[in-house]
Amino acid sequence: MELELRHLKTIRAIAEAGSLTRAATALGLAQPALSAQLRRIERALGGALFERGRYGVRATALGELVLERTRIVLPAVSELQREAARFARTRRDGGRLRLGGTHGPLLGALVDRLADAAPGTSVTTCASWSERELAGLLAEGRLDFALAGVCGSAPPPDTPHLVWEEIAVDPVFVMLADGHPLARGREIELAALADEEWACVPGDGCFADCFTAACARAGFTPRRMYETDTASCVHLVQVGRAVGLCRATFPPTPGLTTRPLAGTPLVWRHLLGWQPAGQRPDIAATVLAQAREAHAGAAARSDSYAHWLAQRRETPDAASGMVP
C-alpha cells in the first residue's frame, strides 16, 4: 500500500483525539474500520505508530516522527490548494502578465497603471541591467513584455520573433548636487563638466561609447566613470564625488538637481518588446498605451524635464526627433 494524504490526516486525527473511539467518531468511521486502516498504515510505514492502553493511545517514537512530518506536509498541501485555486481564478478572470524592465521609474509606474487598467490581472516583475537578457527572456517565453532602452538611433536587441515599439525618446540629463555651481543654470554645456568625475548605471548597449564620443566632440576625455547601482550613483552625486548621467524622467530626489545638456548630445529611446505570436493584440495595445502614459506621468513629475519640453514646444525645430 502506498501512503496517501488521507492516511496522514488519519494519523493526526488519532493523535489529536487520544483514542481510536474518539478518532473514529470525528472521522465518521466505525472503530473496527479505523483500527483496520491504522494497521494497514503501520504495515506500510514499517512499525507501530501508537501504543494502546486502557486510557487511550500514545504515539510511539515512529509515530512521533510521522506526526512531526504531518505538521509540515499537511499545511503545505493546504496552502498549495489555496494558491492553485487563486491562480485558477486569476487565469479565468484576467490572466497574468510577466513584466521585465531595466532599472528606472517606468517599470513601477507601469505596474501601478495596470493595477487600475486591468484589475483582474496578476502582474509579476523582473528587473535587469541587460537589454539582451530581457530580450532572451522574452524569446524563451519567460516574460510577456519587457521595458528596455537604447541609445540614440541604435537598434533594439537583435532577437528573432520579437517586436519592439517605441514608448518615447528622452534627452539624457546630468544630475548634480544641489550645491554644485552649475546647478543654478537652466542647461549645462557638456564641456563645462570636463573636470568632473562621472556616475551612471551599467548596461550592455552602446551608451558608454556614445557618451565618450560626445565628450570627445566637446573637447575632453572623461576623467573617471563610476558604473554602479542607482542608489550608489545618487550617493556619489549627493556628496559631490561625481556628477551623474540620468534619463530626463529621473524622479525628484532630495539633495539632487537634474539639468539638460545644451544641444542634447545624448538621447535615450524607451522601448516595449514582446512576442506577437504569444500575445493577444488587444493586450499588447493596452500594455503599450499604459507604458506611454506611465512615461508621460514620469515626465510631468520632473520640473526640469517639464521646463525643457515647454521650451521645445515654443521652438519646434529644436524638438525634432523627440517624443515627449
Per-residue pLDDT of the chain (324 residues; tens, 9 = 90+): 788 888 999 999 999 999 998 999 888 888 888 999 999 999 999 999 999 888 889 999 999 999 999 999 999 988 888 777 666 555 544 578 999 998 778 999 999 999 998 888 889 999 998 898 999 999 888 999 999 999 988 888 888 889 999 999 999 999 999 999 999 998 999 999 999 999 999 888 889 999 999 999 999 999 999 999 999 999 999 999 999 999 999 989 999 999 999 999 999 999 999 999 888 899 999 999 999 999 999 999 899 999 998 888 776 554 444 433
Q: Determine the pLDDT at residue 315.
A: 65
179 neighbors 150 (Cβ within 8 angstroms): no
Distance from C-alpha of 146 to C-alpha of 3, rounded to nearest angstrom: 45
Joined together, the cell numbers standing for residue 233 give 550613483
Q: How would you classify the pairing of strands 145-151 and 163-177?
A: unpaired
Cα dist from 265 to 168, 216, 257, whole Å:
17, 11, 19
Q: Nearest-5° angle of CA 296, CA 297, CA 303?
A: 95
Would you put residue 163 in left (φ > 0), alpha (ψ -120 to 50) or beta? Answer: beta
Distance from C-alpha of 272 to C-alpha of 291, rounded to nearest angstrom: 8
Helix, strand, coil percent values for the chain (each to nearest 5): 50, 20, 30
* Number of residues in the chain: 324
Distance from C-alpha of 255 to C-alpha of 235, rounded to nearest angstrom: 9
Distance from C-alpha of 182 to C-alpha of 243, rounded to nearest angstrom: 11
107 neighbors 127 (Cβ within 8 angstroms): yes
Query: How many of the other CB atoms lie within 10 Å of CB of 106?
Result: 24
Q: Determine the pLDDT at residue 2.
A: 83
Q: Determine the pLDDT at residue 94.
A: 54
173 neighbors 258 (Cβ within 8 angstroms): yes
Q: Determine the pLDDT at residue 321.
A: 42
The two counts, helices (H) then strands (E), for the chain are: 10, 11
Report which DSSP code applies to 279: S
State the DSSP string of 61-73. HHHHHHHHHHHHH
Cα dist from 52 to 8, 35, 41, 85, whole Å:
19, 11, 16, 40
Residues 6+ apart with CB under 8 A from 308: 171, 187, 248, 260
Q: Nearest-5° angle of CA 157, CA 158, CA 164?
A: 65
